[in-house]
């Protein structure tokens, strides 16, 4: 084995921005020809992450799924003959936006060629009349945050786009005016109406992807939009903040606290769950009703609407 390959590392999860990439050319210069590279992959010492790009398996094993997607993107960009303009879901990944429904299987890239370019095994090409302004992230040219958000809104369902929009507004990374300015010239796009609905739903008040998807499901089901992040006084003193409130019906809809930020992240402790129960019991004593949709129920539209059918939440008057 050539010097510098192998050797276990210990410690925290690997940072995908600094994970060392090894190209076929670099390995060859170290005395590791293509046959030796193949053997290292077969033996589990190297991981092939892109054509002619590898990562040491010890490093690869320290990356989570999102980190691996970032490293793959870096690997694809590293060996391209021309710089990529990364866009859509892959740009969202590099901007650090929440991605629900699955990470992009290929690197999304804009192409300004007359033919629009062709997709490849590792690249999904998106045609663009002209290449937009970009920012540099990890040495890669990436569409700006407003452009990325509108690209996603035009090409992905609301349950994917709205959590990103809400996150960007909640963190003050961009403004709704900036997003509408980016959307306006593309109003002739076949999915412009859906993207516009996403902008109408976007709010800085949603504090997690689950809360964002909850708002999407209420919209899709035709319910009146509830107030968000409402402060309610408690009988025992102090206040509670609830995710959504239908005032006249005294109906609280709460993103299930156990999995508020995802099925793995944000898991609450036993003490936190006990405090949540005490808070809910207090509000129930005051006449409030509760619904606590989980990730599974919110993700499946039919299951969410079935849960809401038993409530008195008002519907939008379509007449």
How do residues 265-302 score in pLDDT, each as one tens digit? Answer: 445 556 767 777 888 899 999 999 999 999 999 999 99
Helix (H, G, I), strand (E, B) or coil at 120: coil
Edge-to-edge, what's the strand order for the sheet holding 85-86? 123-127, 107-111, 85-86, 140-143, 134-137
Give the residue-averaged pLDDT of 248-256: 93
pLDDT of residue 165: 98
Tell me what pLDDT residue 8 has: 38
In percent, how much of the chain has pLDDT > 90? Answer: 79
Q: Tell me: the pLDDT tens digits for 35-90? A: 999 999 999 999 999 999 999 999 999 999 999 999 999 999 998 888 899 999 99
Instruction: Note the Cα 49 to chain centre separation in Å.
Output: 21
Instruction: Summarize the confidence of residues 202-222 as an average pLDDT.
Output: 97
Return the ∠ at Cα 75 (arms to 43 and 89), rounded to 5°.
120
The burial of 210, by beta-carbon neighbours within 10 Å (0-12 exposed, 13-18 middle, 19 or more buried), is given as buried
Q: Is the pLDDT of residue 209 over 60?
A: yes
pLDDT for position 270: 65
Confidence at residue 116, expressed as pLDDT on a 0 to 100 scale: 46
Tell me the average pLDDT across 129-134.
Answer: 88
Supply the pLDDT for residue 262.
46
What percent of the chain is modeled with pLDDT above 70? 89
Instruction: Identify which of 114, 115, 129 has the alpha carbon closest to the alpha carbon of residue 186.
Output: 129
Residue 214: the pLDDT is: 96
Query: In angstroms, rounded to a whole number, what is the distance separating the alpha carbons of residues 202 and 223?
Result: 16
pLDDT of 113 > 80? The answer is no
Angle between helices 192-201 and 158-170 (to 10 degrees): 40
Judging by beta carbons within 10 Å of its beta carbon (0-12, 13-18, 19+), is residue 163 exposed, middle or buried?
Answer: buried
> How does residue 5 score in pLDDT terms, banded at 50, 70 and 90?
very low
Report, as an integer, the average pLDDT of 234-241: 93
156: left (phi over 0), alpha (psi -120 to 50) or beta: beta
Better-scored residue on pLDDT, 130 or 288 = 288
CA–CA separation, 314 vs 166, rounded Å? Answer: 24
């Amino acid at each position: 084995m050539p010097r510098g390959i192998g050797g276990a590392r210990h410690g925290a999860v690997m940072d995908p921005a600094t994970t060392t990439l090894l190209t076929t050319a670099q390995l060859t210069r170290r005395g590791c020809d293509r046959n030796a590279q193949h053997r290292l992959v077969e033996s589990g010492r190297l991981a092939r992450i892109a054509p002619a790009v590898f990562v040491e398996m010890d490093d690869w094993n320290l990356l989570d799924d999102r980190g691996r997607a970032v490293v793959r993107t870096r690997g694809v960009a590293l060996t391209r003959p021309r710089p990529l303009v990364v866009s859509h879901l892959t740009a969202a990944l590099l901007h650090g936006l929440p991605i629900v429904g699955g990470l992009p299987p290929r690197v999304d890239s804009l192409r300004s060629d007359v033919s629009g370019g062709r997709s490849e095994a590792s690249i999904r090409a998106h045609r663009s009349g002209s290449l937009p302004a970009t920012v540099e992230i990890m040495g890669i040219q990436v569409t700006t945050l407003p452009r990325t958000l509108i690209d996603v809104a035009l090409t992905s369902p609301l349950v994917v786009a709205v959590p990103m929009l809400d996150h960007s507004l909640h963190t003050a990374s961009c403004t709704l005016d900036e997003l509408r300015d980016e959307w306006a010239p593309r109003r002739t796009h076949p999915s412009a109406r859906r993207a516009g609905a996403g902008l109408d739903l976007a709010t800085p008040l949603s504090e997690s992807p689950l809360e964002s998807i909850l708002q999407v499901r209420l919209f899709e089901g035709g319910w009146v939009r509830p107030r968000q992040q409402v402060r309610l006084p408690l009988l025992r003193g102090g206040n509670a903040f609830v995710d959504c409130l239908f005032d006249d019906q005294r109906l609280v809809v709460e993103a299930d606290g156990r999995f508020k930020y995802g099925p793995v992240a944000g898991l609450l402790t036993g003490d936190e769950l006990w405090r949540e129960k005490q808070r809910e019991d207090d509000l129930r004593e005051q006449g409030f009703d509760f619904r606590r949709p989980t990730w599974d129920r919110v993700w499946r539209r039919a299951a969410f609407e079935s849960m809401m059918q038993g409530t008195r939440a008002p519907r939008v008057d379509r007449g």
